[in-house]
Amino acid sequence: MSTSWRQRWQEGRIGFHLQHTHPALAKHWSDLAIAPDTKVLVPLCGKSLDMRWLAEAGHPVLGVELAPEAIEQFLTQSKVSVSRYTQAGFDISRQGSVELWCGDFFHLHIQEAAEIGAFYDRASLIALPPATRERYAFHLAQLIPPGAKGLLVSLAHPDHGAGPPYSVLGTEIHQLFTANFRVTLLEEGSPDERGRTESVWSLTRRGPLV
Ligand SMILES: C[S@@+](CC[C@H](N)C(=O)[O-])C[C@H]1O[C@@H](n2cnc3c(N)ncnc32)[C@H](O)[C@@H]1O
């Protein structure tokens, strides 16, 4: 799987990348009432400009991405200097308050995630095939402390077997996350010309007190 993503980045087949911040952030993030200094995990981050939006909102950001091409392209968008180091098997690039961890999200462990207090997923869950989505939901729950919140932007489309992006229905979001998160649908868009419908969810990690 990692080879095919690397190939996509090398060949510039990155139709998922948005040249603007995703509207769900401006619309819904503040409603989650996440303190500005809370570190936000962005799994499968690509070179998303949403990370700059989160950083400008005051959040330290920890993005995880397996394609070094994506990380280098993100870094060159800004003139801010970059420091690089290695930790826990990841090559990490830090630019301002954004840290980009180059490697497999499933290799990120709780010890490294200690400071994370929120997450943002746009087109991350839907990038993964069905069995890996289960693994993703479980892994995310391991990294997020009780009470922590996140925003999830998902996608459903008529071609259920095909992907990425895979079609993930609301029923599946509930099945995947309800065991460990309180799941709330914030918004469901209208189908676009290809019949694709985006939905926006807030997830709160359940725990002893939540
Ligand atoms: C559909 S893109 C979404 C990127 C970003 N969230 C956005 O909104 O533009 C999925 C990204 O996940 C990366 N990826 C796929 N599997 C991964 C894994 N196991 N660990 C880290 N990154 C992964 C791919 O290289 C790709 O950049």
pLDDT for 182-193, tens place per residue? 999 999 999 999
101 annotated as ligand-binding = no
Residue closest by Cα to atom 6 of ligand 1: 45
Q: Residues lining ligand 1, judged by CB closer than 6 Å?
A: 5, 16-17, 44-46, 48, 64-67, 70, 104-106, 122-124, 127, 164
Q: In whole angstroms, what is the distance from residue 118 CA to residue 21 CA?
A: 18
Cα 72 to ligand 1 centre (Å): 14
pTM equals 0.97
65 annotated as ligand-binding = yes
204 and 181 Cβ atoms separated by less than 8 Å: yes
104 and 2 Cβ atoms separated by less than 8 Å: yes
% the chain with pLDDT above 90: 90
pLDDT for 48-107, tens place per residue? 999 999 999 999 999 999 999 999 999 999 999 999 999 999 999 999 999 999 999 999
Question: Any idea of the CA torsion for 106, 109, 112, 115, to the nearest 10 degrees?
Answer: 90
Query: In the chain, where are the structural domains located?
Result: 2-14+21-205
CATH code, residues 2-14+21-205: 3.40.50.150
100 annotated as ligand-binding = no
**Check: complex ipTM more than 0.90:** yes
Cα 63 to ligand 1 centre (Å): 10
